[in-house]
Amino acid sequence: MNTVRTRIAPSPTGQDLHIGNAYTALINYVFAVSHGGQFLIRIEDTDRTRFVEGSEQRILESLKWLGITHAEGPDVGGPFAPYRQSERLELYKKYAEELVDTGHAYYCFCTADRLSKMRKDQEANHKPPMYDKKCRANSKQQTANSIKNGEKYVIRLNVPDEGVTTFHDEIRGDISFENKLIDDQVLLKSDGYPTYHLGVVVDDHLMEISHIIRGEEWISSTPKHILLYQFFGWTPPVFAHMPLLRNPDKSKLSKRKNPVWVGDYKAKGFLPEAILNYLATMAWAHPEGKEIFSVLEMVRVLDLKSIQTTAPIFDVEKLRWMNGEYIRQTTDDTLVHLITDFLSSRPLSRDPGILDSRLRGNDKKNKEMVLKILPLIRERMKTLAEYGSLAGFFFARPKEFERPLKVAPLKVGGIALQSCEWNHDAMEAAIRLEAEKAGMKAKDVFMELRVAVTGKTVGPPLLESLEILGKEETLMRLSL
RNA sequence: GGCGCGUUCGUCUAUCGGUUAGGACGUUAGAUUCUCAAUCUAGCAAGAGGGGUUCGAUUCCCCUACGCGCUACCA
């Protein structure tokens, strides 16, 4: 009875897992784990009009990619299956009717036309747009007749006209709402599906959820949920409303203004650990002031009460920095796999310039090559996607040059490299010597060699790169 | 419009009523250097406004302003 059970309840209406859902998933997961409890997933697919095919699978995949694992869910089952609301329809109907029997809900036969007209009038008169409770006055007989005649109906929550509904929020304290301002919410839609409000309360209770940790956007609906718990005679779980992640313009994080899908960040070359770490610093700070820490470490120190109430802005720049930190921490072997997997899973058209298919090999030989290149580029990479522009020249000759080559210093460099031994120190000595002989700055010679070999003015250290590239290939590029 | 939630550097945040208001990202300058990074050093940068309470408010209370959320047979 005392076990901590948390959940996230995504609805399959988007192309993937929303980063905001990933955020609440992280907190729910960490909280459950830190209390030796269970974290589960329930799919709330009650809106058929917005249903997106394949969404559920992608949500599950993204969660898995992030490393947030669930004990129960639509894919793995569990003691409270099914975990998909569309498969639990009879349940909601039963509970909605129970509410009707106890007088806490009623049938409503109002048409969409009437409702929208009513709302328009209310708006015109500057009144809060709420259902006017017309059907609450229907007699039992009227209701029975209407149903018998096949009239479409919904079941609405019968909210008391007076009083106040209060609930305690673990993060924000007590929050109260006047009952007269709470709408007679639809609980069961005319298509037989429950609305969020009914579904969430019934399932959270049946699935023995102990803590509801969800987004701030639900605060206003919580009194309806509290009322439902009261009417059913159930003990409500603990509530904690997380602040909403925001766009740089402070609006709720949305796909129109930001990449919001976890898959977007994966495609941009972010590592799951970095994403989670960054998310963890949203509205919360490690008690020791650490910036870089693992989920496991978060499990040790997270306290719901220490979560901030202010909605943070999702700052991709800081995420990039953090991702770079993680790339630098990653072992060579792991990073090789990350890079080769990343490249092979990515559409060729997204890689510009000199990057071509030779870079994308997943074979052993290519992996060895990547391993050699790694020390030259790892501290220059903030995302895996930058590998291409950083290391592309190892695999293919530059197709274009950032600027025209200067012949004189290039010649000097060529002479130096032609006759020298192919190692870092020998090359450096030769270049400096030849530069001095020609009365040039060694710097300029280095730069010209760089442009000729890589096509760019910036990149990994030149001599180390030449060592890997080999003498033959280097001289070939110099003679272009 | 109504209801709710919120307000510390540009951004993420620290602060058990007493601090030169600290850290991180970004940014600026410098060191290093074959470029760019990485690294190191230094700098710039904040308590929305007004009332209270208090010996003392960033911290507690109220008001205003501003921002955000909700206001569907969407979640």
Tell me what pLDDT residue A354 has: 41
A119 CB below 7 A from strand B atoms: yes
Task: Assess contact for A165 and A189: CB atoms under 8 A.
Answer: no
Tell me what pLDDT residue A352 has: 47
Per-residue pLDDT tens over the stretch A121-175: 998 888 889 999 999 999 999 999 999 999 999 999 999 999 999 999 999 999 9
pTM (2 d.p.): 0.94
Tell me what pLDDT residue A480 has: 53
Residue A194, exposed/middle/buried by CB under 10 A (0-12, 13-18, 19+)?
buried
Scanning residues 81 through 110 of protein chain A, those with a beta carbon under 7 Å from any atom of strand B turn out to be: 110
Scanning residues 298 through 317 of protein chain A, those with a beta carbon under 7 Å from any atom of strand B turn out to be: 306, 308-313, 315, 317
Task: Assess contact for A37 and A71: CB atoms under 8 A.
Answer: no
Using DSSP bridges, classify how beta strands A154-157 and A186-188 pair: parallel, antiparallel or unpaired: antiparallel
CA distance A361 to A344: 7
- Closest nucleotide (C1' vs CA) to A307 is B13
Interface predicted TM-score (ipTM): 0.96
Residue A49, exposed/middle/buried by CB under 10 A (0-12, 13-18, 19+)?
exposed
A122 CB below 7 A from strand B atoms: no
Residue length of chain A:
480
Q: Based on the residue annotation, tell me whether A367 is a catalytic residue of this protein.
A: no
Task: Assess contact for A438 and A412: CB atoms under 8 A.
Answer: yes
Is the dihedral angle over the CA atoms A95, A100, A105, A111 positive or is it negative?
positive
Residue A314 CA distance to nucleotide B21 C1' (Å): 25
Tell me what pLDDT residue A252 has: 87
Nearest to A276 by CA among A110, A60, A29: A29
Number of helices and strands in chain A (H, E) = 19, 9
Residue segments in chain A with a per-residue pLDDT below the cut of 70: 1, 347-362, 480
Distances in Å between the alpha carbon of A97 and those of A91, A102, A110, A153?
10, 9, 18, 13
- Closest nucleotide (C1' vs CA) to A444 is B34
Residue A310 CA distance to nucleotide B48 C1' (Å): 15
Chain B: nucleotides under 7 Å from a protein CB? 1-8, 10-14, 22-26, 34-38, 67-75
A21 CB below 7 A from strand B atoms: no
Q: Is A233 left (phi over 0), alpha (psi -120 to 50) or beta?
A: left
Half-sphere exposure (Cβ direction) of A430: Cα atoms closer than 13 Å: 17
CA distance A411 to A59: 57
Nearest protein residue, CA measured to C1' of B67: A250
Q: What are phi and psi of A194, to 5 degrees?
A: -80, 160
Report long-range pairs for A381-384 (Cβ below 8 Å, ≥24 apart): A381/A324, A381/A327, A382/A320, A382/A321, A382/A323, A382/A324, A382/A327, A383/A268, A383/A269, A383/A270, A383/A320, A383/A323, A383/A324, A383/A327, A384/A269, A384/A270, A384/A271, A384/A327, A384/A338, A384/A339, A384/A342
Tell me what pLDDT residue A284 has: 97
